Amino acid sequence: VGSGKFSYFMLKALDEMKDVCDFPFKNIVYVMTDFTKSNYNFWLNHPTLKPYFESGRLDAGIFDAVSDNTITLQRSGIVLQRNSIKNPICIVANYLFDTLYHDIFQIDHGVLKEGLVSVGSLNIVEPDPLDPEIINRLDNHYRYDPITPDYYGSEDGDEAYLRRILKWYQNHFQNSTLGASILLPIGALRALRNLCSFSNNRCIIISGDKGNNNPEQFTGLMDPHIAVHGSFSLMVNYHAIGAWFTNKGGFALHNPQEEASLKVGCFVLLGDNDIDTNENVDHLWLGDHIEQYDQERSKYFPFLNQSFHDNMNSFGPNDFFVLQKSLKEDVSHLPLRTVISILKLSDWDPDVFFKFRDIILNQAPNCSLKLKKDLTRGMPNIYRNYYIMDSEKDIAFEIGRYYYGIRDYYTALDYYKTSISTIGEHHVTYHNQGLCYYSLGKLDISLSFFEKAHNMNFEYEKAKSWIAKVKNELLKNNPELATKSSENDTIVIDEIETVTTSFNNLKSLE
């Protein structure tokens, strides 16, 4: 799960479905898993997730996706294990499979070969073999040895299904002069086998990752590309994952889009099956047979088919990613109305708002009243969708800047206060609050915030300038204070500090 951000959006989506679907949503328990305790502690203490944990609708557990076959839920104490769940389960694997184990195979002139890798470093000598920086100096060498399709001898009942998958690739590329290079995501399949066993193999899986689902993409003899990014990952072979589900009596729904950095697939198992695993009938699983089985079985789930088509094939997550990226990078003068459209298409996503915030802040003050109303209506939704992760992306602060720009100073102040309470104090946030109070004509209060900003950062020149400006205006507006100033400058400062102190006392009572 990682940060838990994706899970938060899933939980929100389930909440929104309550009023439109005749389904006992209160009985659904969403389970977050990861293999580190630190992530679990982060979820448990996250203010956005806390209500879900407390209601019992959210639980979490430590789970090694490859080796564990049970999950102990930390809140309820329930142990999820083989056949422990009566109802079907939904498994969501978001950018998981690319980091699990993969086996390497090649089809070279019809011969099936396994890939063996020797891992080394570009440096001749590594003083510390445990240095994590070695990952950036990996120097891998590959060797390919002939094998037979019954390569997997002990896979907890999956031996026949894996044999048929390898046979399918060998048969498909047997006449290819170019050969083929195949990654088989064995780590993902082992994780899925363990998870699906919890509900007696009645489940639906939604997975998104970098990868391929068209076997023609595997044409050619080449070593696998390993992406290094703090850890390392490989492209996910969703075609093989789909074939595994189909072999076990289920079916796969694939997005046929070729040019996609994010591939999303949906896979279904219907329970224990009576599939004949005898090797004598392996020929029934070659060629187009797997695709035909998928089509025949998926016909019994028309709503799922239509939903996948609408949300993945017609316009999916990758299409949205390409669209918003192009608008940001390829269009030099993007009008505000286009930004509002992409925000609506994203369901008022905070990350999209943050990406286009400069355009919004620059154009909103002078846009038409209708456009301003359309944008302002969506602003609360942006913050409701905000999942706090770090101080680098302070959405409340940016929304406050928007409201200040359209001269809604009271709402701007509300968001600046939210920024301080959630992300923490910052001299610019205090300075901006000072600007709001100044614009409202509350000079004494504005002065206190400019002074707070200055006290936090003595080098912040804007705060210094505004402190001098506001003090001068306070003197002009108060002749009695000005007279005292000519007699004793200290009296003036004492008077102003008294006003500031009074405000601070009032603030503590709010």
The model's pLDDT over 156-188, given as tens digits with 9 standing for 90+, comes to 999 999 999 999 999 999 999 999 999 999 999
pLDDT over 90, % of the chain: 75
pLDDT of residue 38: 83
Give the whole-angstrom CA distance, residue 250 versus residue 206.
14
The model's pLDDT over 88-100, given as tens digits with 9 standing for 90+, comes to 999 999 999 999 9
pLDDT of residue 159: 96
- Lowest average pLDDT, out of 85-99, 340-354, 373-387, 480-494, goes to 480-494
Residue 428: its H or E element: helix 427-439
Provide DSSP, 124-159: S--S-TT-GGGGGGEEEEEEEEE--S-----STT-H
Hey, how many other C-beta atoms are within 10 angstroms of the C-beta on 87? 9
pLDDT of residue 481: 55
443-456 vs 427-439: helix axis angle to the nearest 10?
170
pLDDT of residue 83: 93
pLDDT of residue 81: 94
**Band of pLDDT at residue 487, cut at 50, 70 and 90:** very low
From 431, 432, 433, select the one nearest 450 (Cα to Cα): 431
Task: Assign 3-class secondary structure to 75-94.
Answer: CCCCEECCCCCCCCEEEEEE
The pLDDT of residue 497 is above 90: no
pLDDT of residue 492: 32
The pLDDT of residue 508 is above 60: no
Q: Between β-strands 202-209 and 89-94, what pairing exists: parallel, antiparallel or unpaired?
A: parallel
**Band of pLDDT at residue 480, cut at 50, 70 and 90:** low
**Band of pLDDT at residue 479, cut at 50, 70 and 90:** low
Average pLDDT score, the chain: 90
The model's pLDDT over 235-291, given as tens digits with 9 standing for 90+, comes to 999 999 999 999 999 999 999 988 888 999 999 999 877 889 999 999 999 999 999
The model's pLDDT over 36-75, given as tens digits with 9 standing for 90+, comes to 888 888 898 899 999 999 999 999 999 998 889 999 999 9
- More confidently predicted of 58 and 232: 58
The model's pLDDT over 444-461, given as tens digits with 9 standing for 90+, comes to 999 999 999 999 999 999
Q: What Å distances lie between residue 389 and 5, 47, 394, CA to CA?
A: 8, 11, 9
The model's pLDDT over 10-20, given as tens digits with 9 standing for 90+, comes to 999 999 898 88
Query: What is the rounded average pLDDT of the residues 417-433?
Result: 96
Give the whole-angstrom CA distance, residue 32 versus residue 58.
8
Q: Is 95 left (phi over 0), alpha (psi -120 to 50) or beta?
A: left
pLDDT of residue 138: 83
Query: What is the rounded average pLDDT of the residues 303-331?
Result: 93
